[in-house]
Amino acid sequence: MGNGSGSDVESELDVQLISQAADGINLWYWETPYWLYSFAVDFYGSADVPDVISMSWGWAEDQQCDIVDCNNITSRHYVERVNNEYLKIALRGTTILVSSGDAGAPGRTSESCSTERPINPVFPGSSPYVLSVGATYVNNINNSRVNFTSGLCSNHSCVEGTNESSITYDAVSWTAGGGFDLYHNETFSWQKDAVESYLFSGVELPNYKNFNPFGRAYPDLSAVGHSCPTYIGGYLSGVDGTSCSAPVVAGLLSLVNDHLWENKRLKLGYANPLIYDIAKTCDGCFNDITHGYNWCTEEECCDNSTEYGFSATDGYDPVSGLGTLNIGKIIHHIDTYYNFTNI
């Protein structure tokens, strides 16, 4: 999705990474000058829309009105109105993928680790009606190797390792976002078991005054977000960000959506309940990322670290979510485990 300014790095990244993840799908480029609510209204009112959206916008939940004129409503009211529109879009059959942010749990409104704003959920990555996507990088220093033979890897340098960790500042100079939203007072049923397992796992948590343990936890999923191959102005560059991982997951889920449509005449649509159920019922459908943390930003790692973010652990965590996707196993599990009726 564009921002009304024509082709740029963000737009090129979205389009190229989706196409790399899902060769042969139909690509849309949706250009708009509007912020979240106005875009959502325009999108929902359009006759023809794509089945999957990848979106890399975001700002602190409680400071939405710093981005747009809220016309005498609060940031909380603005977030609630946007969530209503996202729910309508999801019920129409469109899956919304949103990046979880690139400044860790503190977010871009606390790049220097303010004690007054230690943890700041980023919207719309924290919306319950999107699939929120964090990011990983591959640590090449391990005993497992994959020898990729694609043209890209033959002509350029590609990672060969298989050991993934969550993106952190001290590894790649930025941090993938994650945490809990501010405004919900009950964990959504589809992620309740996963989130409660995390909260009661014994992992060290921030003080409850710094985050909302009953909120919507994000991200849901992750994908590689470091050194993503992107042609900019005719030259190949390695681009970083959850702006890379979100379109990668969007491309992969486009394959799931196409498979469901071709075989069952069903759309993936609001995928959150299905994704979390697959995680509970399928061994190997997700690669659990157990190393990493998000108490850093794009500028530094915070002192008194656990007051500024969360640690990865076994199972779900608000650092890398359920992990990265094994899309072949996911499609096979959908075919063999669920009794979807062909309509």
- List, by residue number, the catalytic residues: 10, 14, 243
Closest CA to 108 of 304, 242, 272, 292: 242
Q: How far apart are the first and last CA of the chain?
A: 31
| Residue recorded with tokens 């449509």 | 261
Q: Where are the alpha helices (DSSP H) in 35-184?
A: 36-44, 75-92, 151-155, 169-172
- Contact in structure between 122 and 59 (CB atoms under 8 Å): yes
Task: Return d(Cα 343, Cα 339) in angstroms, integer.
Answer: 12
Q: Which residues pair with 266 in a beta bridge?
A: none
Residue 242, φ and ψ in degrees, nearest 5: -65, -10
Task: Return d(Cα 56, Cα 39) in angstroms, integer.
Answer: 13
Overall size of the chain counted in residues: 343
State the angle between helix axes of 242-264 and 327-337 in degrees (0 to 180), rounded to the nearest 10.
30
Q: Which residues pair with 133 in a beta bridge?
A: 99, 221
Q: Which two tokens stand for residue 89?
A: 């879009």
Q: Which residues pair with 175 in a beta bridge?
A: 103
